[in-house]
Amino acid sequence: MNHPPLIDIQHINYIYPARNTRTGEMQSITALQDVSLQVQQGEYLVLLGHNGSGKSTLARNCNALLTPTSGRVLVAGLDTSEKANQRTIRDMVGMIFQNPDNQIIATVVEDDIAWALTVRGMPVSLINERVSSAMEAVGIVHLRGLPPHRLSGGQRQRLAIAGVLALRPQCIIADEPTAQLDPLSRAGVVSLLHQLNQQHGITIIQVTHLLEEAALAQRIIIMEQGKLVMEGTPSSIFANLEQLRQLKLAIPEPIELVARLRNVGIPLSPEALTVEAIAQEIMP
């Protein structure tokens, strides 16, 4: 653990001005308050919190989309507040959002993935190679010639991921990537992120308000009112359901069931957090 962290957030505050709807006066809103966090290369981190807890603001501070009001953020040792570093930082730490359409620009799938490489002036042979491997990694090779609007929501989110992947980032931040998707495409996108983490060693920071999407993370951070309030492995976080409820997070029913069975003396492992693992635990 002596490697320097990929992302090193040191005591940051993020304050923005907003107009009070009643009085019309300008006031300061503190979205992040003294947040410190280190993300290691190769980690799978989930940032959890309800609406307005500050999780998206924190995520945007990780690749210089936002820069802290005070404190500093280092990405691979580079300060995000230095203008000269920002291009390099964004190539290293890519980002995808709730709505993939916000970052799809070309009229054909392949061209869209090639876009960022083309504007960086890469040679055609290199572009072709990277576009192919990005399409392969996210499983959309068969869609390469289609216009993006013919793709389903889940496929468009995969396309957005491929566009980021083609830049060979060390880290991908996914800000509620499943919020607009149907249940099955949702599960598909989450398992794709895990696959990129395990097979390609890409650091993943996944932002979500759903506990069930956090079950397979290496580490979970929970935010509330702009502060980090809980941190730990999934099994340690899920061990405290009462506190999660207070943080306005919905407890998945299977997890609730296991907790209640454990309360009446039935020995069930706290490591069992997915439906499959829980079934295995109840009926080995």
Partner 1 sequence: MKDSIIITKNLSHIYQTNQSGSLQKAALLDINLEIAQGSCVGIIGITGSGKSTLVQHFNGLLRPTSGTVIVNDIDVSAKNADLALLRQRVGMLFQFPEAQLFERTVYADVAFGPRRMKLSRHEIRTRVLNALDMVGLPHREFAQRPPFELSGGQMRRVALAGVLAMSPAFLVLDEPTVGLDADVRAEFYSYLQRIKQEKEVTIVLVSHDMAEVATLADWLFVLHDGRLVMQGTPRSIYTQGDTLRKWGLAAPPLSELLTLLRKKGLAIPEDVFMLEEAFTLLQRRPFISSPTNNSG
The least distance separating partner 1 from the CB of residue 115, rounded to whole angstroms, comes to 26
The least distance separating partner 1 from the CB of residue 13, rounded to whole angstroms, comes to 24
For partner 1, the binding residue among 2, 51, 125, 199 (CB under 8 A) is 51
**Cβ burial, residue 258 (10 Å; 0-12/13-18/19+):** buried
The answer to whether residue 123 forms part of the interface with partner 1 (CB under 8 A) is no
Of 51, 7, 66, 45, whose CA–CA distance to 225 is shortest? 51
The continuous run of DSSP H or E covering 30 comes out as strand 26-39
> Would you give the binding string for partner 1 spanning residues 179-208, x where CB under 8 A is met?
---xxxx-x---------------------
Decide if 192 contacts 161 (C-beta within 8 A). yes
Q: How far apart are CA 11 and CA 167, in angstroms?
A: 30
Q: Measured from the CB atom, is 154 or 163 closer to partner 1? A: 154
Contacts of 280 (CB under 8 A, 6+ apart): 272
The answer to whether residue 260 forms part of the interface with partner 1 (CB under 8 A) is yes
The answer to whether residue 275 forms part of the interface with partner 1 (CB under 8 A) is yes
Q: Measured from the CB atom, is 145 or 183 closer to partner 1? A: 183
85: tokens are 């570093």
User: Which range, of 72-80, 134-142, 178-186, 190-198, touches partner 1 by CB under 8 A?
Assistant: 178-186
Decide if 211 contacts 244 (C-beta within 8 A). yes
Q: Report the DSSP pairing between strands 203-208 and 171-175.
A: parallel
Tell me the three state secondary structure of residue 17: strand
The answer to whether residue 124 forms part of the interface with partner 1 (CB under 8 A) is no
Q: Measured from the CB atom, is 26 or 283 closer to partner 1? A: 283
For partner 1, the binding residue among 2, 21, 23, 27 (CB under 8 A) is 21
For partner 1, the binding residue among 22, 84, 123, 125 (CB under 8 A) is 22
Number of C-beta neighbours around residue 271 at 10 A: 11
Q: How far apart are CA 251 and CA 268, in angstroms?
A: 17
Chain residues binding partner 1 by CB under 8 A are 21-22, 50-51, 153, 182-185, 187, 209, 212, 245, 248-250, 252-254, 256-257, 260-261, 264, 266-267, 269, 275-276, 278-279, 282-284
